[in-house]
Structure 1
Amino acid sequence: MRARTKARKRALDILFESEARGDAPLDVLAHRRETADAPPVSDYAVMLVEGVVANQERIDQLLAEHAEGWTVARMPAVDRTLLRIGVFELLWVDEIDDAVAISEAVELARMLSTDDSPRFLNGVLGRIADIGEHLRAAR
């Protein structure tokens, strides 16, 4: 597994855990970084967690607008978290190509979520990527 793929998986783990436990994501992140027996948390994973947290309101708004037939709260937790990471990468991480952000999210969904999840994530992220230039200009 490539370094950024591992970082995305680690960010997913942290954000998923924080939501499942009702803990603040930055607290879970800090705990993971301080725990000696936990796998290391790369700088890229830290940036993803911090970026999703800082922009979650806008990210969830975009997900609600572009996930046809789904509310954010009704999405499976893994899919919701992967979508948040994917949207953050699409709109706030300039060094990642849109196609890479989408394919990485889809691949993680293929490994960790339902059979329908890869197609769902691809559709939602693709719609957001299509208007990404406009969205980036508006922030």
Structure 2
Amino acid sequence: MKHSGTRHKARNRAVDLLFEAEAKGVSPLELIDERRKIFVDDDSVGTIHDYTATAVAGVASDQAQVDAVIASHLDKWQLDRLPAVDRAILRLATWELFNVADVDPVVIVDEAVQLAKELSTDNSPAFVNGVLAKIAELAPQVRAAAAAVLPEPTDEA
């Protein structure tokens, strides 16, 4: 199945930025800022979709927690031993599972598997699916807990 929607492209770009940032040892937020500055004079670098920026910022700010969740769901693997692109895909999808309430967890897992098919090894889609399927079971509870600590909206103008 070919995914060509805007959000799929935004996720693909987010994975690219997360991968590149890790490879260069820089903050993914720095890469986004750099690309946005370059884009002003050179549109060949492409614009950064708002969803890409939001997702990358979310992963960057929650990376310790995201990595801990992923690591706790790896069977006979260590996070730092995974292919870097698989780490980026798992980080993005885990962050989405816990923080993006307007997308069904099944869709998030499907998108991650599709990205693994497009960007990684032949074994990666099944591996990514297996890890994320376990993490997705936690998503409703994590989302509910996050919603419970958010302040209630007020009617004050």
Q: Name the TM-score, length of structure 2 as normaliser.
A: 0.85
RMSD: 1.1
Shift of 1:13: 1.0
List gaps (5 residues or longer) in structure 2.
147-157
1:58-111 CA-to-partner distances (Å, cap 9, x unmatched) read 100001100111111011000000000000110001111101100000001001
Does residue 98 of structure 1 match 2:101? no
Shift of 1:134: 2.4
Match of 1:5 in 2: 8
Does residue 52 of structure 1 match 2:49? no
1:4-25 CA-to-partner distances (Å, cap 9, x unmatched) read 0010011111111111011111
| Preserved CA contact (<8 Å) 2:93 2:112 | yes
Map 1:1-139 onto structure 2 (within 5 A).
1-36=4-39, 37-139=44-146
* Greater Cα radius of gyration, structure 1 or 2: 2
Amino acid at match of 1:128: I
With 97-106 and 33-42 compared, the bigger mean Cα shift is at 33-42
1:22-43 CA-to-partner distances (Å, cap 9, x unmatched) read 1111111111122223111100
Partner SS, residue 96 of structure 1: coil
Shift of 1:133: 2.0
Give the aligned length.
139
Q: Name the TM-score, length of structure 1 as normaliser.
A: 0.95
Q: Percent identity?
A: 44
